Chain A
Amino acid sequence: MSSLERPTPIGRALRGVLLAVVALLWLGPYAWMTITSLKSLDEIVQAPAYPLPHSPNLDAYREVMTQVPVGRYLFNTLVMAFSIAALQILLALPAGYALAKLRFRGRRTAFFLVLACLLVPAQVTFVPVFTMLGPLGLVNTMASLVVPFAVSAFGTFLVRQALMSVPDEIIEAARLDGASELTIIYRILAPLVRPTLAAMFLFSFVYHYSDYFWPLVMTTDDENRTLPLAIALLREQGTGVRWHIVMAGNVILSAPVLAVFALAQRQIVRAVARG
């Protein structure tokens, strides 16, 4: 729309100011987080403060590593996020296929049940699920972090929508060739809806990697805790004003997500904008 008019000097100046404010508000905090993590304790409490570290060093990162078993927590987090994302796709494909392509009694009811789950977020189920799993000894296990999220109602819905646009002829031809239903679902249809699956996987992975709420309420000991919990604990452990250590933890926590985001921005944005 702006191509219609030549930019006026005022317009240009306004745009410049806007970009500067956006940079300060949305890039500044990341920069400040990184800069703080490279400082020493003296530097962050001294007043007046100098914005840049005198001698940037990685001491704060070393400190995080000694306070928290980052490797183990990161491993737990990756296993959890990967398992959830993979299971969601594995289960959404056959369910989406049945809902999109097969005619059977109860299809509407089944579809309604899937959609109804959108009304029941984790913030509602955590209390009853906790009291359900407790007596079974399942609290504090990796299963209690993964299995409740094995189905994504929205993901199932998206896969169904994507499969609806695949022509029936493809499935009929595969059946004539003697392909089993499982082969049709996972070998023939899955590659056809790959963009949907990729967006779903990325979004789910990033979401659960970052999740704090569910691991917080379902785990009580270190065995299965995840990285966001460990980083949040860095501040709670009574470290006082040692913000350089907390910020180093923050960098460790957010760098992988920001990297994935930088590489797959388009898919993630698409998954989110559709939701």
Chain B
Amino acid sequence: MRPRNRLHPLLMLAPTLAIIGLFFLYPLVVAARDSLYRWDLLTEPEYVGTTNYTRLWQSGELTGVVGRTLTFGLVVVVASTALGLALAIALNRPGKLYAFFRGAIFSAYVVSWVAVALLWMWILDPDAGVVTRAFRALGLPTMSWLGDPRSALYAIAFVTVWKITGYAMVVYLAGLQSVPASLFEAAALDGAGPLRRFIYITWPSLRPTTAFVASTGLIMSFQAFDVVRVMTQGGPVRSTTLFVYAIYEEIFVNLRVGRASALVVVFFFILILLTLLNLWAFRQSGGLADRAPKRERAEGAA
């Protein structure tokens, strides 16, 4: 349609574009600039060229952080995707009981990270935590899950899986609605059992959904911060210093704005790569356009 006045579209978009420019695009310029300076927030910034980047690289800091974040991300993605799929299939049935269980699992995704992290710190507490006590009662060896550098990363990965599996499940449930029921009926009539129906129908039909769930999970893992800040503060011996926490530490603990900004720039490029992967997966899964009507059909049927 033609706007009534040539200025109207601009006026309607002005507030949105102003915020976008000020808080999304301009900060990228600021980060790129700051990454070329040494600055402690108190004294005058000093131009140091690309020193911040070379230091990050040569000290092994960057490799360490990327490696840790990638390990964390892979554990989280594989576990939450597999569990999300299993739960979606198992709980994809009518009835209030199943709806309640689906809601219970998904609620963890909605509840504050702070609440989740504190709750699991208490459950995993090495002295009085319920897991520790249960292990002791059963005669199993226990350890300080969050206090031992060998297990801390996996402990926070476990808690992250607990929190985001509900998200994976919900996306899979939406995906399951789009698998034609006639396929299952035909396969069942032909004598295919549950396992074969999964291998030959469910899994291939859900492959795009899996690509989307997994790539979204990877992005979430790379953005993880709260769980680290509350549960481990990056320790013990930096074993849980994930990417965003490393940035936070550089600026707010070490007061090295330049180093933090250099990390931000690198992080931004990693996120671009992951987001492109995600957008590709989103296209594969049908995108928004034809996902919405499918869900409505499913709700009508339920």
Q: Give A residues with C-beta under 8 Å from B.
A: 1-2, 4-5, 15, 18-19, 22-23, 25-27, 29, 32-33, 36, 44-45, 47-49, 91-92, 94-95, 97-99, 101-104, 107, 110, 113-114, 116-121, 123-132, 134, 147-148, 150-151, 153, 156, 158, 161, 168, 171-172, 175, 181, 185, 206, 209-213, 216-217, 228-229, 231-232, 235, 241, 243, 246-247, 249-250, 253-254, 257-258, 261-262, 265, 268-270, 272-274
Q: Which residue of A lies closest to B282 (CB)?
A: A275
A44-B128 in contact given A33-B119, A98-B12, A127-B264 (Cβ < 8 Å): yes
Q: Are B223 and A19 in contact (CB under 8 A)?
A: no
A127-B118 in contact given A104-B9, A168-B1 (Cβ < 8 Å): no
**Interface assignment of B72: CB less than 8 Å from any CB of chain A:** no
**Interface assignment of B51: CB less than 8 Å from any CB of chain A:** no
**Interface assignment of B111: CB less than 8 Å from any CB of chain A:** yes
- What would 23 A/B residue contacts be, using CB atoms closer than 8 Å? A2-B93, A33-B122, A49-B128, A49-B133, A95-B16, A103-B1, A121-B271, A128-B264, A129-B23, A132-B26, A147-B19, A151-B20, A151-B23, A209-B112, A210-B115, A211-B112, A213-B229, A246-B122, A257-B110, A257-B111, A258-B107, A258-B111, A270-B295
Give min CB distance, A186 to chain B, whole Å.
Answer: 12
Instruction: Choose, from B57-65, B97-105, B149-157, the stretch at the interface.
Output: B97-105
Q: Are A231 and B128 in contact (CB under 8 A)?
A: no
Tell me the bound Cα distance from A257 to B275 in angstroms: 29
A217-B248 in contact given A29-B123, A210-B111, A274-B288 (Cβ < 8 Å): yes
Main secondary structure of the interface of B (DSSP, over half): helix
Category for how many chain B residues contact A: 35 or more
Q: Are B197 and A1 in contact (CB under 8 A)?
A: yes
On chain A, the residues within 8 Å of B24 by CB distance are 116-117, 120, 125, 153
